[in-house]
Structure 1
Amino acid sequence: MATPDAVFIYIGTYPSGPAAQADYDVLKDLHAVGAVGSYDASVVTKDEAGKVHVNKDETATRHGAWGGAAAGAVVGLLFPPAIIGTAAVGAAVGGVSGHLWRGMSRADVKEFGEIIDEGQAALVIVGESTLSQALQRAQLKADKHVAKELDVSAKDVDRAVQQAATEVR
C-alpha cells in the first residue's frame, strides 16, 4: 500500500525516443484531468556514441514545483557525468539527488540503471505515490519497466527543489 507522502519512481524502456514521448504524452493527459499530482518526467535517449540525453518538456512547471530537478536527479544518480550529453541535470540536482539517494538502496540504483541501459530510450517519472495507481491504469507501452516507492518524503524533495531554485536565482 502506498504511503501518502512517499516519492514514486517509474522507469520504462522503449525502442525509440518517439515511443517514450508517446507515453510521456499519456502522463501529461493524466495530469490534465487531475489523475496525478505533482510529478517530474523526462525522456532519456542514448546517441550512437553512448551519450545520454535528457529531453525535458518546457512546460514542466505546470506539473508542480519539481520542474525538472527530480527526473534530472534520478538520471544524475544512474549515470556518471561523463556520459550525460546534456546539461539536463541542472543546479537543483545536488540537494534533490541527496534526498532520493537516501530513499534508495544500492540494489534499487543497480536495477534502475540496468533497465535504463536496455532500451534506446527511457521515460523517467518521479512523483507523488498517487502516481503509481494512475500509471497502472494507463497501461503505458514500455518494453520493460521498474517502479518503486522510495522511503523519502515528497515534501522533503519539494523543499530541496525550492531551495535549489532560490540559490540559482
Structure 2
Amino acid sequence: MAADKNLILVVGTYADAAAASSDYAVLKSGEDDGDYKVDGAVVISRDAEGKVSVHEHDTGKVGRGVGIGAGAGIVVGLFAPPLLLATALGAGIGAGIGALQKRHDEKKLGLDVDEYLPPGSSAVVAVVDDTWADKVEAALVKADKRIAKAIDEDDYEELQQAVAKSEDEVSKAAGS
C-alpha cells in the first residue's frame, strides 16, 4: 500500500441477496462514472446453514488465480479472516493468515462475521481510499447496516503477501 494511501473497509449488510447485488451494481456504476475509485469489492453471501460464497467483483488490477482471485481474497481477509480460510485460495493461506486471525480474534482486525454476515444474509464489502469512503458508503442505499473501518497498513501488506504466496502455490500445483 502506498504511504500516501489510507485504506478504508466499507461494508453494507443485507437480509436480501438481491438488494446486495443491486447496491453492488450502483457501486460499480458510480466508479464507472468517475464519482469515486474502488480498490476491490466483493459480494459475500452466507446461506441458512452458514456456508459462505464469494462473488468476485474486484477492479481487475490484480491477477486472478484458482478459486477466488487475489483482489477478492484481500477484501475477504480484511472483512473477516476466518472467511478467507473457509474460501481458501490454496494450502499456504492457512499458515500465512495465522497472525491476522489472532488479531481478528483480539478485535483489532476485521469485523464480527455473525454480526455483519449472519446466516441467510449478504454483504457488499469494498476497500477504498479514505477520500472516497463517504461516497462509497452512501452508494450502499439498500443496506440494513453500514460500517467503515480503517485498515492498518501492516495488516494489509501481510494479507497481500499471504494471498500472493497462496496463489503462487496453487499455480505451481496446477502446472505440475
Unpaired runs of at least 5, structure 1: none
Given that residues 20 and 142 in structure 1 are in contact (C-alpha distance below 8 angstroms), is that contact kept between their aligned partners in structure 2? yes
Partner of residue 81 from structure 2, selected from 77, 80, 84: 77
Q: How big is the shift at 1:61?
A: 4.4
Distance between the aligned counterparts of 1:75 and 1:152, measured in 2? 14
| TM-score for the superposition, normalised by structure 2 | 0.66
1:146 corresponds to 2:150: no
Q: What is the root-mean-square deviation of aligned Cα atoms in Å?
A: 3.8
Q: How big is the shift at 1:19?
A: 0.6
Number of residue equivalences: 159
Amino acid at match of 1:67: G
Distance between the aligned counterparts of 2:29 and 2:155, measured in 1? 22
Distance between the aligned counterparts of 2:98 and 2:30, measured in 1? 28
SS in 2 for 1:9: strand
| TM-score for the superposition, normalised by structure 1 | 0.68
Question: Equivalent residue for 2:122?
Answer: 121
Given that residues 46 and 121 in structure 1 are in contact (C-alpha distance below 8 angstroms), is that contact kept between their aligned partners in structure 2? yes
SS in 2 for 1:41: strand
Given that residues 10 and 147 in structure 1 are in contact (C-alpha distance below 8 angstroms), is that contact kept between their aligned partners in structure 2? yes
Percent same amino acid at aligned positions?
Answer: 23
Distance between the aligned counterparts of 2:159 and 2:27, measured in 1? 20
Distance between the aligned counterparts of 2:77 and 2:148, measured in 1? 16
Distance between the aligned counterparts of 2:42 and 2:130, measured in 1? 18
**Which has the higher Rg, Structure 1 or Structure 2?**
2
Task: From the superposition, tell whether residues 139 and 161 of structure 1 become closer, same or farther in structure 2 (CA, over 3 Å).
Answer: same
Distance between the aligned counterparts of 2:44 and 2:128, measured in 1? 17
Q: How big is the shift at 1:74?
A: 3.0
Question: Equivalent residue for 1:68?
Answer: 72
Amino acid at match of 1:124: V
Unpaired runs of at least 5, structure 2: 63-69, 172-176
Amino acid at match of 2:47: D
Q: Within 5 Å, give how 1:1-169 maps onto structure 2.
A: 4-57=4-57, 60-62=58-60, 64-65=61-62, 67-79=71-83, 81=85, 84=86, 87=87, 89-91=88-90, 106-107=106-107, 109=109, 111-113=111-113, 114-117=115-118, 120-138=121-139, 140-152=141-153, 156=157, 160=161, 163-164=164-165, 167-168=168-169, 169=171
Amino acid at match of 1:115: Y
Given that residues 79 and 110 in structure 2 are in contact (C-alpha distance below 8 angstroms), is that contact kept between their aligned partners in structure 1? no
Given that residues 127 and 154 in structure 1 are in contact (C-alpha distance below 8 angstroms), is that contact kept between their aligned partners in structure 2? no
Q: Deviations over 1:30-70 (max 9, x none)?
A: 2212233342111111223221211223xx343x3363222
SS in 2 for 1:67: helix
Q: Deviations over 1:72-101 (max 9, x none)?
A: 3235514484xx4xx4x4249669967977
Q: Deviations over 1:94-140 (max 9, x none)?
A: 69967977997833557543222286111111232233032244352
